[in-house]
Amino acid sequence: MTMESAQTIAGPVPASAASDVSLARAVVSPHPYATQRAAELAAKAATVSPRRDTLLYLNGVTKSFDGFKAINNLSLVVAKGEMRAIIGPNGAGKTTMMDIITGKTRPDTGEVYYRGDVDLTAHDEASIAAMGIGRKFQKPTVFESQTVEDNLRLSLAGSRSIFAALFHRKDESERDAIGRILATTRLTEKRRTLAADLSHGQKQWLEIGMLLAQDPELLLVDEPVAGMTDAETAETARLLREIAQTRSVVVVEHDMHFVRELGVKVTCLHEGSVLSEGSLDAVSADPRVIEVYLGR
Ligand SMILES: Nc1ncnc2c1ncn2[C@@H]1O[C@H](COP(=O)(O)OP(=O)(O)OP(=O)(O)O)[C@@H](O)[C@H]1O
Ligand SMILES: [Mg+2]
């Protein structure tokens, strides 16, 4: 207790305005139960609020392989509808982070939440995919001997779309969905082409289209433009920006021209943790990022 407040309580009550106020405070102090209830609500709000309005929430995540911490106290939050670019040197843990989000790898410690309250560490790969998290691996995995259209049809058949089943208009809704995905992935003209005959970039777009057939809320894309021509790379940035208008996207890339084209918030990982986060300009001016990544 300070000298001043001790005097206010212990001293005689002067007829000044100031002590009238302190007297009034003492009289209207809340009931002890109300104070306790308010404290409980505040504590509850504090535990819930950090995940509110987040689509993806990682907090203090760690994963070791034979004693080596591939992911080390990683915390990362992606908002609903956000597109985020992840950069960082080889071995930084970018792909391992995606393995953890999709249930392929289970973290040793830490929290991984989807849509605020779904604990992803309690689910397996199949159920995480069914909940709307789609993932594109580094290498395209399309059915080479099938046409572009049939690749999309196969993905739709296995999708969680209940629309067709509900309205018994499978053919029509499937045709519409395929048409929309072909347009988004710049493959309308190639619909009857065998996947084997597509360029590398077109195969990557087809695989993105196959993921869109599952109607994911969150799309994870690992190095989509590796091996693409400059024109394909620029088109992929446009394509992902379009996709990000209706869903969240996390895209890992080393190609800084491409990351600039995305025009989104950037997170740089290093040794399994976030090294720097912000606009591409801010992150690429960060001396630590220059030292471990961009300046190499
Ligand atoms: N299943 C595993 N077993 C053992 N070590 C692993 C495993 N998966 C990843 N690692 C190690 O974890 C570290 C992070 O690897 P990761 O593939 O996540 O890096 P990255 O950031 O995706 O790199 P790149 O840019 O080269 O793709 C690496 O040292 C890697 O060897
Ligand atoms: Mg990787």
Which domain covers residue 185, as residue numbers?
82-98+124-294
Please provide the distance, in angstroms rounded to a whole number, between the alpha carbons at the two ends of the chain: 58
Give the number of the atom of ligand 1 that is nearest the alpha carbon of residue 88: 21
Which bound ligand lies closest to the C-alpha atom of 92?
Answer: 1
Question: In whole angstroms, how large is the CA radius of gyration of the chain?
Answer: 26
Pocket test for ligand 1, best of 71, 87, 90, 96 (most atoms within 8 A of CB): 96
pLDDT computed for residue 169 by the predictor? 58
Task: Give the per-residue pLDDT at 7.
Answer: 42
Q: What is the CATH number of the domain that holds 143?
A: 3.40.50.300
CA distance 88 to 101: 18
Predicted confidence pLDDT, tens digits, the chain (296 residues) = 444 444 444 444 444 444 454 544 555 666 777 888 888 877 776 665 688 889 999 999 999 999 999 999 999 999 999 999 999 999 999 999 999 999 999 999 999 999 999 999 999 999 999 999 999 877 778 999 999 999 999 888 766 455 555 555 567 788 899 999 999 999 999 999 999 999 999 999 999 999 999 999 999 999 999 999 999 999 999 999 999 999 999 999 999 999 999 999 999 999 999 999 999 999 999 999 999 998 86
pTM of the prediction? Answer: 0.82
The residue contributing the CA closest to ligand 1 atom 11 is 70
Going by alpha carbons, the residue nearest to atom 7 of ligand 1 is 65
Mutate to test the pocket of ligand 1, among 94, 99, 105, 267 (most ligand atoms within 8 A of CB): 94
Question: Could you tell me if the CB of 96 is within 6 A of ligand 1?
Answer: yes
The pLDDT of residue 47 is 63
* 278 is a domain residue: yes
Q: What is the helix (H) or strand (E) element at residue 152, kind and residue range?
A: helix 148-157
Query: Is position 31 within any domain?
Result: no
Q: How far is the CA of 90 from the centre of ligand 2 (A)?
A: 7
**In-domain check, residue 196:** yes
Q: Can you tell me the distance from the alpha carbon of 199 to that of 202, in angstroms, rounded to the nearest whole number?
A: 5
Helix or strand holding residue 251 (H, E): strand 248-252
Q: Is there a domain that residue 94 lies in?
A: yes
Query: How many angstroms is it from 106 CA to the middle of ligand 1?
Result: 14
Residue 44 in any domain: the answer is no
The domain total for the chain is 1
Cα 225 to Cα 255: distance, rounded to the nearest angstrom? 8
Would you say residue 208 lies in a domain? yes
In this structure, how many other beta carbons lie within 10 angstroms of the beta carbon of residue 179?
14
Q: Which residues surround ligand 2, an ion (CB under 5 A)?
A: 94-95
Residue 15 lies in a domain: no
Do the domain assignments include residue 62? no
CA–CA separation, 269 vs 293, rounded Å?
10
Q: Which tokens belong to 54?
A: 């987040």
